[in-house]
Structure 1
């Protein structure tokens, strides 16, 4: 397809996390004004999972959010919004399809590999294939990109964007793109909030699998306290560093999305007229602080600056405390909305 110029009147809004930011910004473009935290909460994306059989950069996957694509899927379903999603095997066909949708004046979200996005500083590029962005226009062979983790829009060449859309490895994007096709005149945000809270409570408390939710946090705690003996100091440090990176650096807003979810509960309290949610929001912030303490202990171990008491068993105890507090919080939250 020959080069063409098209610029959609799109408002770029920065966010802490890419997918919730993309979801909120696409909805905002189509007239539904919700925050990133509200999109995250309605999308029921607060999560914990430790999967030693899935490797990211050669290390076990620890995740603090739901599966890639879940936020937009659940938000649109909860609000009655229709969206289309496409995957491709052929990179040229994928780029031509993107051009056709942009030419219709529709901003397009897509999954990409961070390593191949040239506007990321070299020090921040790594092989992570679940980064979401929005393309809202094109000038010649340069695409106009709203990447929600940046404070301003950026540009990306056709070749670089193609590479990013077809990055290889874990969570390969396979050219995935998506866009909204129909937005109802009225959306019931209150009902969507309740549904989102119920889904998160079920995920964190009721999935009968030891690697997910509160059970998963306790499982990981049991692993961590024995890592130095089982793995050796160097490999134990590498594994701890990987967990902290997933918890604090991969667009989580800090503390494995706990602060973002606390903000969602605060907004939900106002919309639902339920002041007790403010207390639960405050408690979630406190739990987030505890996760941050775990990260601090871990960073000190990784850098060889261990203080007295910053041991692996101590880190395991912090995780058990987080699990116990989240167990209580989600039970209280479930009781509040009559789950």
Structure 2
């Protein structure tokens, strides 16, 4: 058995931040999960539907691996990414860093992992690999999936080779911190303003605050979108609350990120954003509950209520991001004197 020594195999709530936490702690950089999510400008929104989809999908974050790229760029981390069509080369790309004593991040389809109890194809799942033997691979996944877990090498190979939405060609990656990395605190404002700008200026109406408003209109029609509402509506709500989002479609994570930032920077705009995202997180959980109730009861009024709240959420989040997008010019002057350092 070959394993990386001294890996902190700590599971978190969300898969990508869990993997990033493992890789960065091994580099001596220990950040909270909300801070990893926020510094990666991870928050977003998408209303995704299509002819080949059984039911609409509500997403609350940027696309898979974009968070990792954003975080690496902001913290000046050396991000080495390997992709290949060859299973043999793909395995070599993983064993080389493991043999050299470094954990590796993998993007794969969670459907094929032995320890997953819910068998749904998701090609954007990310885990950290820290060891292997002749039969099994040793991974770190979310708390929900068990934290430090193992899966067969054959299952891992199938998961990495899978094709379909959000998959990557046997993607593996490592992160290396520079000798003198920038302070994570110095990257708070750039990360927040980049996230806010993208949210406020989406290229299409399915994204950002426009996407939430669109969802508010379309969710009312969801009974017409499925023959099995008792299955599809509760499942959509479950994805919002339980499927590695940290709750409230990632709004809980971003709320906690802003709270952590408000302890470091004395900013009225930051406090405004935090207050609005505290309100938004509670409303997203209410929306999920209404969607579940609609599926279980067949009551269309529940979807009407959910749609009304989503339209309110579009406004609330737009106002929050407008406040946060204006951090840059003002806060650069006060941050150095008021910041109290990352704990």
Specify the SS of the correspondent of 2:297: coil
Determine the C-alpha separation between the residues in 2 that align with 1:227 and 1:41.
32
Match of 2:280 in 1: 287
Aligned length: 329
Distance 2:158 2:203 in 1: 39
* RMSD over equivalenced CA pairs, Å: 2.2
1:230-309 equivalences under 5 Å are 230-231=224-225, 234=227, 240-274=233-267, 277-304=270-297, 306=299
Q: 2:341 is matched with which residue?
A: none
For residue 36 of structure 1, report the CA deviation from its aligned partner.
1.1
- Among 40, 44, 48, the residue aligned to 1:47: 44
User: Does 2:314 align with 1:317?
Assistant: no
Moved more, 294-303 or 94-103: 94-103
User: TM-score, length-normalised on structure 1?
Assistant: 0.89
Number of the residue aligned with 1:11: 8
**1:80–1:184 CA contact under 8 A, matched in 2:** no
1:54 Cα shift?
7.7
Work out whether 1:119 is the aligned partner of 2:115.
yes
Shift of 1:279: 4.6
Distance (whole Å) between structure 2 residues aligned to residue 54 and residue 170 of structure 1: 14
TM-score (norm 2): 0.88
Alpha-carbon distance in 1 for matches of 2:51, 2:132 = 37
CA distance, structure 2, for counterparts of residue 75 and residue 162 of structure 1 = 27
1:273 CA displacement: 3.7
- 1:123-202 paired onto structure 2 within 5 Å: 124-149=118-143, 150-202=145-197
CA contact (8 A) 1:143 1:158 kept: yes
Can you give the 5+ residue segments of structure 1 that lack an aligned partner in the other structure?
A: none
Structure 1 position 79 matched with structure 2 position 75 = yes
Q: Give unmatched runs, 5+ long, in structure 2.
A: 331-343
Q: CA deviation at 1:34?
A: 0.8
How far 1:81 sits from its partner (Å)? 0.7
Q: 2:57 aligns with which of 46, 57, 61?
A: 61
Partners of 2:186 and 2:297 in 1: CA distance = 49
